[in-house]
Amino acid sequence: MTAKSSIVAAALLATAFSVSAHAEDLAFGLINETDVAITGFYVSPADSNNWESNLMSGGYLDGGYEIDVLIQDGLSTCVYDIRADFEDGEIYEDYDLNLCDLGAYTFE
């Protein structure tokens, strides 16, 4: 897998919700320090019972790379659940994360 493919995933994530930034927007870093590519990434408000759309749809994030994620859902919350699907079939979920305080999330 190449850095170019990771850049494609970054472009997909950065434009996942809309083009312009607003006060409610939330930006954070997504870091993959594993040896396996992330092929699916989902972010949903913690009070939601469903996962939002796959922000990696059509892309992936290789191990050793990081990207910026911009959430433009119009919500004023900082607390989200995240899910990552890995190329080897593993799925990792983490809940009730204050992404404003974290600034970045690292998969290790």
Q: Which domains does the chain have, with CATH numbers?
A: 3-107 (2.60.40)
Q: Which amino acid is at 39?
A: T
| Entry pTM | 0.77
Burial of 34 (0-12, 13-18, 19+ CB in 10 A): buried
Residue-level pLDDT, tens digit, the chain, 108 residues = 444 444 445 444 544 433 344 447 889 999 999 999 999 999 999 999 999 999 988 899 999 999 999 988 888 899 999 999 999 999 999 999 999 999 899 999
